């Protein structure tokens, strides 16, 4: 599964009023693990930057005068993100700006070409703000609040930045959805452990001697319970361990009439 965590910085808050993107940051996840690939560009917005926006990200117009315009990096951007699932915090905001940039570019270049009319036509989208509101109703769910809630270190974040915020959102998303990237096995580990690929029957290996069963210690049981509780909280009550442990044990069948008669 290929996912791209994406964030933007802009000249202001409203794309409909002519505000533009000035920074795009993307981080690639493969099977919920950072691949090391990323996409990062500063852009020349061809307009002034609002004071309120500049206070958030610290980027001024003079810094962007020699940066490329959106049309110069659009094909590269969509070559990177097309066909993936985009993970965005407050997705309507970023998508609104990206779609507006596509609209402006289409007016200059005309219809057709390699670029889509809208981001959702080439990507699925997961909004982590909507996900956080489902998991934590009535609480603050901005990125800083989620970092604090899930123990993600953002102490190095003095100002917003598209790539910096995308990297932070990677950690928040993985923590919020169970942190299962920590449990993932790479291909080499699968081969070493004998775990089958999807659709492949696992090989049957007969141990050379009877398996030795080792009971968990009290400390190990306590650690298991603590981990299960953490996974249950972060997954919104979806921890299968706890669900299985809470199921009642099957009732024993009563002795047969023949056994009662013989006794």
> In this structure, are residues 84 and 123 in contact, taking their beta carbons and an 8 Å threshold?
yes
pLDDT for the residue 36: 95
pLDDT for the residue 155: 81
Are residues 228 and 173 both part of a single domain?
no
pLDDT for the residue 158: 67
pLDDT for the residue 259: 42
State yes or no: is 156 an active-site residue. no
**Domain extent for 246:** 216-250
pLDDT for the residue 250: 58
Q: Specify if 262 maps to a domain.
A: no
CB contact set of 163 (below 8 Å; sequence gap of 6+):
7, 23, 25, 26, 27, 38, 40
Tokens of 227: 């981990």
Are residues 38 and 96 both part of a single domain?
yes
> In this structure, are residues 243 and 228 in contact, taking their beta carbons and an 8 Å threshold?
no
pLDDT for the residue 184: 40
| pTM of the shown model | 0.67
35's enclosing H/E stretch is: strand 33-42
R_g of the chain computed on alpha carbons: 26
Q: Specify if 198 maps to a domain.
A: no
Tokens 């307009």: give the residue.
Answer: 47
pLDDT for the residue 112: 62
Of 137, 159, 183, the residue that ends a domain is 183
Are residues 175 and 240 both part of a single domain?
no
Are residues 152 and 225 both part of a single domain?
no
Q: Specify if 211 maps to a domain.
A: no
> In this structure, are residues 50 and 31 in contact, taking their beta carbons and an 8 Å threshold?
no
Cα separation, 163 vs 48, in Å, equals 22
- Nearest alpha carbon to residue 19 among 94, 92, 78, 118: 94
pLDDT for the residue 48: 93
CA atoms within 13 A on the CB side of 240: 0
Torsion angle of C-alpha atoms 57, 61, 67, 71, degrees rounded to 10: 90
pLDDT for the residue 116: 93
Average pLDDT, consecutive stretches of 10 residues, N- to C-terminus, the chain (263 residues)? 96 94 97 96 94 88 93 96 97 97 90 84 97 96 94 80 94 85 40 41 46 78 82 75 69 48 42
pLDDT for the residue 239: 76
Catalytic residue among 19, 57, 89, 160: 160
């Amino acid at each position: 599964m290929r996912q791209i965590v994406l964030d933007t910085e802009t000249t202001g808050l409203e794309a409909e009023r002519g505000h533009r993107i000035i920074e795009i940051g993307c981080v690639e996840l493969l099977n919920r693990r950072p691949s090391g690939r990323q996409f990062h560009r500063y852009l020349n917005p061809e307009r002034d930057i609002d004071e309120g926006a500049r206070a958030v990200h610290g980027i001024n117009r003079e810094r962007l005068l020699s940066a490329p315009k959106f049309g110069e990096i659009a094909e590269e951007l969509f070559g990177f993100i097309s066909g993936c699932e985009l993970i965005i915090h407050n997705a309507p905001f970023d998508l609104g700006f990206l779609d507006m940039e596509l609209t402006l570019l289409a007016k200059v270049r005309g219809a057709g070409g390699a670029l889509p009319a809208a981001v959702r036509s080439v990507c699925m989208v997961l909004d982590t703000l909507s996900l956080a509101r489902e998991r934590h109703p009535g609480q603050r769910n901005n990125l800083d609040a989620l970092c604090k809630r899930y123990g993600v270190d953002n102490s190095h974040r003095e100002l917003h930045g598209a790539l910096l915020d995308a990297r932070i959102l990677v950690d928040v998303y993985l923590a919020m959805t169970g942190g299962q990237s920590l449990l993932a096995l790479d291909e080499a580990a699968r081969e070493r452990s004998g775990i089958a690929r999807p659709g492949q029957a696992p090989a049957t290996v007969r141990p050379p001697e009877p398996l030795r069963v080792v009971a968990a210690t009290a400390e190990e049981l306590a650690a298991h319970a603590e981990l299960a509780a953490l996974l249950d909280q972060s997954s919104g009550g979806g921890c299968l361990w706890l669900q299985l442990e809470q199921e009642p044990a099957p009732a024993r069948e009563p002795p047969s009439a023949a056994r009662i008669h013989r006794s």
